[in-house]
Amino acid sequence: MAASNHPAHDPVPRPLDHLAERGTRDAPALVLRDRILTHRDLAARVALLAGWLANRWSAGDRIASWAAKGELTCLLPLAAARAGMVHVPINPLLKRAQVAHILSDSGASALLATASRLKSLEEQDIPAGCVAMSEEDAWQEAERVDAMLPPSERDPGELAAILYTSGSTGKPKGVMLSHANMWLGAVSVAHYLELADDDVTLAVLPLSFDYGQSQLLSTWYAGGSVVPLDYLFPRDVAKACAKQSVTTLAAVPPLWVQLGDVEWPEEAVTSLRRVTNSGGALTSEIISGLQVKLPNTKIFPMYGLTEAFRSTYLDPALVAEHPTSMGRAIPFAEILVIDDEGNVCEAAEEGELVHCGPLVAQGYWNDPERTTERFKPAPAASTYGGTAVWSGDRVKRDANGLLYFVGRRDAMIKSSGNRISPQEIESAALATGLVAEAVALGVPDTRLGHAIHLVVRGDEGAGADRLARQLAKDLPNFMQPQVIHWREAMPLNPNGKIDRTALAAEIGA
């Protein structure tokens, strides 16, 4: 009836900061550009950063970070948790309007960021009572205070992080994750990927994503090491895999398409044990390309929800025979396929994917209405009970228990691994004053997953260049429309509303 999976021994969740204490003390834990931190160093630096946070702010305060991958952004998830605070990682690709919303919505007490990013903000973007500080100043002050905070004994049910994700109804919403959510997520991934203390993970995904944070947490749970990388070109990823003898690489479909076009050094091919994918489905073409480039590397297709961390993975042994499957539930997840009457679907019957169990987040920060819509009582068939995430995704389960994605109920656009709210793009277009109506749609694209097309009503001759320039200023790169369609009138449905279905059919969305 349900798809579920557990490690042989279900560990009791622990405070998240205990991940800093797991590795062999003199083994590498974090490979930075200018130095390598051993697991002993990792534990000491987390203790130092946590001590400074506890000296400066109060338990429960939200500590935001907005920076590229480095020592601060990698250690802050553990240090904030140890200090009893809540980490709010902000995607470095976001721009001032989105950052201002996250700071305001979360009630952040601190923003730790690169100096250049701080300069891009205006005074009104930083809420009253929020201290904005550069990474360099934060570390200097932490070292001056020199207060080492030992491992905590916090309740694993305490809130540890708020991860902001785009919602179909507009501005980003904050998903609340507890110590237990993140600890068990790390245990789960380390278990089914079979990570070991000699594994080296190349962290190319943004650390503001749950998938990105998992690169760190699951590797450190296993006692391995992480190499953070902000790459400019796909070939940089392949070169880094060779240089660092990388064993584990996580990416999203658009990056896998690009990596299929570059030459892989023999050293990278030899060292790479496993690759993982989420943020969109792998096509048969991508899989076959990876199998040619990396013939001895295990491929792990996965499906996840920020609201429940990760839901399913496909065993690499099944990829060749079932390349389009989402697989089965990961450890600590119970995945049910539920019909419109609330019953478990039979094999081959389409229903909604419902995720139950201890990986389910605590809801949306400061948003009880949307929390009630998505976080609802688990179906009667659940062995876990309690609260479940009703995903809105339509799936089917075959006779062997393998799950297959059918489609989404909402209008979210998935481009370059990012879940993008159409309304956020539309609002930005309308705010320019250059158009009277706007509709953002995702058009299938081999490299991006979906290319963003924006249909607008207005005077193309007067506003085309200005609209593109303003959107480039107001929206992050991954939200930029690939194509802007100008219309003198929008199609309307019988209710007098813009007919999105007609527009989608017209442009091939």
Distance of alpha carbon 316 from alpha carbon 199, whole angstroms: 18
Strands (E), 263-342: 274-277, 298-303, 312-313, 325-329, 333-338
Domain 414-507 carries which CATH code? Answer: 3.30.300.30
Eight-class DSSP state of 95 = -
Instruction: Please list the residue range(s) of the chain that carry CATH number 3.30.300.30.
Output: 414-507
* In 413-480, alpha helices (H): 422-431, 460-474
Q: What is the pLDDT along the chain (509 residues), one digit of tens a residue?
A: 345 455 545 578 999 999 999 999 999 999 999 999 999 999 999 999 999 999 999 999 999 999 999 999 999 999 999 999 999 999 998 889 899 999 999 999 999 999 999 999 999 999 999 999 999 999 999 999 999 999 999 999 999 999 998 755 567 899 999 999 999 999 999 999 999 999 999 999 999 999 999 999 999 999 999 999 999 899 999 999 999 999 999 998 878 988 988 999 999 999 999 999 987 778 888 899 999 999 999 999 999 989 998 999 999 999 999 998 999 999 999 999 999 999 999 999 999 999 999 999 999 999 999 999 999 999 999 999 999 999 998 899 999 999 998 876 666 788 888 878 787 898 889 889 899 888 999 999 988 889 999 999 998 888 888 999 999 999 999 999 999 999 998 887 655 667 888 898 899 87
Strands (E), 270-417: 274-277, 298-303, 312-313, 325-329, 333-338, 351-356, 375-377, 387-397, 403-408, 413-415
327: left (phi over 0), alpha (psi -120 to 50) or beta: left
Instruction: Report domain 38-154's class.
Output: alpha beta
Instruction: Please list the residue range(s) of the chain that carry CATH number 3.40.50.980.
Output: 38-154
Distance of alpha carbon 124 from alpha carbon 472, whole angstroms: 21
- Given a contact cutoff of 8 angstroms between Cβ atoms, the answer to whether 354 and 335 are in contact is yes
| 297 token code pair | 């590397």
| Helix/strand/coil percentages in the chain, nearest 5 | 35, 30, 40
Q: Return the residue matching tokens 């790390």.
A: 186
- Given a contact cutoff of 8 angstroms between Cβ atoms, the answer to whether 244 and 86 are in contact is no
Strands (E), 54-154: 62-66, 86-89, 110-113, 131-134
| 465 token code pair | 């260049």
